[in-house]
Every structure is written in structure tokens, then in C-alpha cells.
Amino acid sequence: MGRDLNDVAAEGGADAVRFVVANGKRILKHSEREAISGNDELPLKIAFADELPEAFTPPDELVQGILTTGDSSVLYGDTNSGKTFLVIDIAAAVARGVDWMGRRTEPGMVVYLAAESPASVRSRLQAYQKHHGVRVPNFAIVQNPVNLFDGDRDTEAIIKTVRQLEAQRGQKVRLIIGDTLARLSAGANENAGQDMGLVIARIDRIRTECDAHFMLVHHSGKNAAAGSRGWSGVRGAVDSEIEVTDLPTGRCAEITKVRDLGTKGERIGFRLDVVELGVTKWGAPATTCVVVPTNAPDKPKSSKGKGTGEIQGAVIEFLASHKVGIKKSVVVAHFAGRYDKGPIYRAIKTLVAASAIHETAGMVCITEVAT
């Protein structure tokens, strides 16, 4: 038995009739409608705008203004910029349930995938505990190599580990850190979307099934002004992005992307203070560093300053490792193959003008040594 517009009107009213007429729709038989609607469950999850509640529910923040619960982020910076020290400082605050740089945190367990250097992460946490006079609870350091590109085995191992830790400790894992993206994606082409897309998909699976925030530690590209290294889709896939820089004016973590929190552009200053942990087998002090809050340095006036700042930071770091003055030509030779001669000389000139380093008779040293 067929259906006509009277049936449509009886079931859906005048609006349904207008829709059928306007769109030239054939009136379906009851059996056809049943085949399409099934149990009235749509293949995709739908939310209608007019059914949304009037009361707004703000994003659930893990670290106030920076990280949201169950989402993803990337924190990147140049080598020796202090990014891993900063990540450990954030993670320890979450594990302790204390404020971080004046921002509230949601307490929970941290799982740190120390794919690059487990020993380094352990020593830096020892320094953190010594400096703050505390023991950090609920901070688990995974010391196995982890590869999220080569199959699902490690992905499943991470998910299983998180669930077992939660059962054993009676604590919810809130933050998972992958250090670094390069080590987590061994064998992948960092510039290829088809490779890195697989890695990001597995990270999404981990954070979704574990209901935990996943933070990636990553490196800057050769052109620091262009952002993090490799496939640009990584930035698009994450909810928050933090850039760590080390300039002559100071170290800084800048929020360069964040969804729904309105804190993009905020800058957080910090410095690294040395902590002595013991002595080496040669009797020399064994040291590492901890993060200490400071005022954020002024932002470079142009993107060109980032590239220059990278060289300036490298020069400062090299000179800081020497207790006496060094010929400028020796500084240039040290960076041969990494930076061209001209930009190094310009960086030295800029640092001298800023009184960050001292120059006399063709010799340079950092100002602290000169004074």
C-alpha cells in the first residue's frame, strides 16, 4: 500500500509536506522507511544546534590556560633550549597537584615515555625533588623504546600499561608525554603526511582510550621562524602548541596555539638553575638543572629575530662552557657546517652591543666571565 501527502502530513505536519514537495522527494513506503531508519540510530554522532543547553560548559583544563583534559599538544624548541626541563616541570606539577607558574593544575598520574633518554629524565627528576625538597608521587617513567609508526604493538602496550597503573595505584592517568616525536616515529619520514598521519592516529587512539592528555616533545626546524620540524599537519592535529626559545634576553615558553582557551600569545619566562647531585667517578661535580620562574623576555620584533636568536643562543652556550676569552675565529670554526661565518660574526656583534658578551683584542667571552 502506498503513501500520499496526507500520510506525510499526519506524521510530520505541514513542514514535512513542504519539505517533500520542495525537494521532489518520493514518498517512501513504510517498509522502505524502516529499512533506512533501522533503530533510529545514525551512523555518525549528531548534535542539533537548537537542542544544545543554554548553560555553557567550559573546556576541562588540565593545566590552566594551556592544556585541556583528554586532548593533545606539542611542545617544541631548539636543542638545548630547555624544553625537556620545562616539560618535566609541568608534569611534576600535575603529578603533585600543585600550581605551575601561577596556573592551577588538575592532579593525576603522569606517564612519561622517555624514548630519547630515560637516564636523563631520571636525573632531572632527582634534581627537581632535591631542589623542591619533595618526593614526586605518581610519576611513571617508561624506559623501553617506543615506536608508534611500526605497527600497533607499542600503542596497545601503552594503553595496557596505563590501565594497569591506574588499577595498581588507584589514580587516574591524566598526562602522557612522548619524548621525542622523532624517537616515537622511528623509520617514518617526518615530512610525509602518510607517515606522520599514522603516528598522530595512534596518539589519538592512546589519548582517547586512556582519556588522558598526550603531550609531544618535538624539535624546531632548520628555520626557527617556520615552527616545529617536519610535517605541518602535526600542528593542525594538536589542540595546544608551545614554543620554547632560548635567547640572550632569557628563556621563554610561548603559547602559539590553543583551542577555546583564549591564551594564545601568552609568554612564560623561566631560567635553568644548576643542581649538584653528586660526584662523577673522576671526582668532578655531577650536575643537572631545574626550572625556576622568571619574567618573560620581550618578544623579538620580527620573525627574522628568531633565526638570529638561535645563533646568538648557540654562541652564548659555547662561550659559557669556557672560563677564558676565545678568539672570534675559534667561535666561527666551532660552528662550521652548522652556521655560516657571516651570521655568526653578526650574532657576536649584536651580543656585544647588548652587553651579553665582552670583546677585547679580537677575544670574546660572556659578560659574567669578563666581570
Task: Kindly report the CATH number assigned to the domain that includes residue 348.
Answer: 1.10.10.10
| pLDDT exceeds 90 at position 194 | yes
Q: Are 234 and 196 in contact (CB under 8 A)?
A: yes
pTM, 2 dp: 0.73
pLDDT at 371: 44
- Cα angle at 229 between 228 and 233, to 5 degrees? 75
Tell whether 56 is covered by a domain: no
Domain boundary residue among 294, 316, 342? Answer: 294
Answer yes or no: do 81 and 160 share one domain: yes
Domain count of the fold of the chain:
3
Phi-psi region of 76 (alpha: psi -120 to 50; beta: other; left: phi over 0): beta
Answer yes or no: do 276 and 312 share one domain: no
Answer yes or no: do 82 and 158 share one domain: yes
E-strand stretches of the chain = 61-63, 67-68, 72-77, 109-114, 139-142, 173-179, 213-219, 240-247, 250-258, 267-279, 285-294, 326-327, 357-360, 363-366
Answer yes or no: do 251 and 319 share one domain: no
Tell whether 89 is covered by a domain: yes
pLDDT at 303: 38
pLDDT at 309: 72
Tell whether 244 is covered by a domain: yes
Give the C-alpha separation, 321 to 136, whole Å.
31
* Residue-wise pLDDT tens digits, 99-152: 999 999 999 999 999 999 999 999 999 999 999 999 999 999 999 999 999 999
Answer yes or no: do 138 and 265 share one domain: yes
Phi and psi at residue 226, to the nearest 5°: -85, 0
Give the C-alpha separation, 121 to 141, whole Å.
8
Tell whether 30 is covered by a domain: yes
Return the higher-pLDDT residue of 15 and 109: 109
What strand order describes the sheet that includes 240-247?
139-142, 109-114, 173-179, 213-219, 72-77, 240-247, 250-258, 267-279, 285-294
DSSP string, 206-242: HHHHHT-EEEEEEEB-SSGGG-BSS-THHHHH-SEEE
Q: Are 72 and 212 in contact (CB under 8 A)?
A: no
Please give the residue range of the domain that contains residue 29.
5-51
Answer yes or no: do 111 and 190 share one domain: yes
Tell whether 329 is covered by a domain: yes
Read off the DSSP letter of residue 51: G
Answer yes or no: do 284 and 192 share one domain: yes
Answer yes or no: do 164 and 239 share one domain: yes
Answer yes or no: do 213 and 119 share one domain: yes
Tell whether 299 is covered by a domain: no
Answer yes or no: do 195 and 326 share one domain: no
- Residue 268: count of CB within 10 angstroms of its CB: 22
Q: Are 86 and 253 in contact (CB under 8 A)?
A: yes
Tell whether 116 is covered by a domain: yes
Confidence of residue 20 (pLDDT cuts 50, 70, 90): low
CATH number for the domain spanning 183: value is 3.40.50.300
Domain boundary residue among 227, 262, 294? Answer: 294
Tell whether 267 is covered by a domain: yes
Answer yes or no: do 238 and 318 share one domain: no
Place of cell 617556520: 226
Return the higher-pLDDT residue of 221 and 253: 253
Give the closest residue to 136 by CA, choosing from 171, 86, 95.
95
Answer yes or no: do 162 and 273 share one domain: yes
Secondary structure class of 38 (helix, strand, coil): coil
